[in-house]
Amino acid sequence: MLAGIVQLLQIVAPCLCLLSEQGITGIHLVDHFLRSKTCSNDLLLGTQTQHGLVNQNDLLNLECTGIVQTDGNIFRTFLLVPYVVPAIVIALVTRWMLSGDYGIISAWLQSAGWLDHRQSLLALPGPALCVVIIINIWRSYPFPMLIYWAALKGIDSAMYEAAKVDGATAWQIFWRITIPQLKDTTIILLVLRTVWTATYYDLIQMITGGGPAGSTTHLPIMIYQNSFGNPNIAYASAISVFLGALMFVFVVIYVKRSDFAED
């Protein structure tokens, strides 16, 4: 029973993972913020040089020709790659880099004295959980990134222009327009990612197999172990149903929130 409760708490791990994921996508927000900042200046310049009403997007293309604009697509493509790299390959590289005998990261940690000789991070319960979470983030951040990117593009530029005309600073524009406009997207992403991360099995299974000492076991791994490793189908089904019910709550929120109903 106690073990069961502990396993339940493992749901917290994916949630943590999720939060950090949102953090990474935050970089895009920063990027957007910086761009809107330069653009407000450009807009000033533009009006001064009789460009008159210049569309913010044109300005974006014209003036913010930094890395993000010109090579933005190459960069985006590159950042999307983790989304399609096979999970087994990621697991493989993780285990290779963290291998106690030959792994490059283990070598650094060992020479820094943070790990014993020939020891691997994956053999320690706490660090193993951290590793699994980090790898999960590495694997799954592209999806939220993509969606946020689209959402940012979808914000009506008229709102920004109006704010600028009213004399809002870049910070104010960011907090009062950009963030509220992303609220719905964030909720939907949280829902979707919770469902997917809490039920994602492949990576953890192949990196640690739930070990050491059950420290990285979460519900999907329990389902798998109970249905194939050491068959106890009834127990596995019970966990499945429980997990399903839990996830169903999130799916209902998603359906309610998305514009599916009006379609």
Partner 1 sequence: MRLNSVKTRTRLTKIFLAIVVVIMIVIVGLPLAWMALSSFKPSTELFKMPPSILPKEWSLVWYEDAFGNDEVIRYFVNSLIISGATMIVDVVFGTFAAYSLVRFEYHGRKTIMMGVLAAYCIPPIMLMVPLCRIIANMGLKDSYIGIIIGHLTVTFPFTVWLLMSFFRKIPKVLDEAALVDGASSMQTFALVDLPLCVSGILSTGIMAFILSWNEFLLSSVLISHDYMKTLTVGMSTYISSTEINWGVLMALGTATTIPIVLLFTAIQKYFVEGMTAGAVKG
Confirm if 133 and 16 have CB atoms less than 8 A apart. yes
Q: Which is nearer to partner 1, 2 or 13 (CB)?
A: 13
From 61, 78, 213, 249, residue interacting with partner 1 (rule: CB under 8 A) = 78
Q: Tell the smallest beta-carbon distance from residue 233 to partner 1 (Å).
A: 7
**Nearest distance from residue 111's CB to partner 1, in Å?**
7
Of 2-41, binders to partner 1 (CB under 8 A) are 27, 30-31, 34-35, 37-38, 41
Q: Which DSSP string do the residues of 140-196 spell out, in sequence order?
A: HTHHHHHHHHHHHHHS-HHHHHHHHHTT--HHHHIIIIIHHHTHHHHHHHHHHHHHH
Does 97 sit near partner 1 (CB under 8 A)? yes
Task: Report which secondary-structure segment, H or E, holds 33.
Answer: helix 12-48
Q: In which region does residue 66 sit, left (phi positive, over 0), alpha (psi from -120 to 50) or beta (all else)?
A: beta
Of residues 158 through 187, those in contact with partner 1 by CB under 8 A are 181-185
Length of the chain: 263
Nearer to partner 1, 40 or 215 (CB): 40
- Which residues between 207 and 226 bind partner 1 (CB under 8 A)? 209, 220, 223-224
Query: How far is residue 216's CA from residue 207's CA, in Å, rounded to a whole number?
Result: 10
Please identify, among the stretches 2-10, 13-21, 119-127, 242-250, the one whose residues bind partner 1 according to the rule CB under 8 A. 242-250
Binding test (CB under 8 A) with partner 1, winner from 63, 131, 164, 210:
63
CB 111 within 8 A of CB 174: no
Task: Compute how many residues bind partner 1; rule: CB under 8 A.
Answer: 89
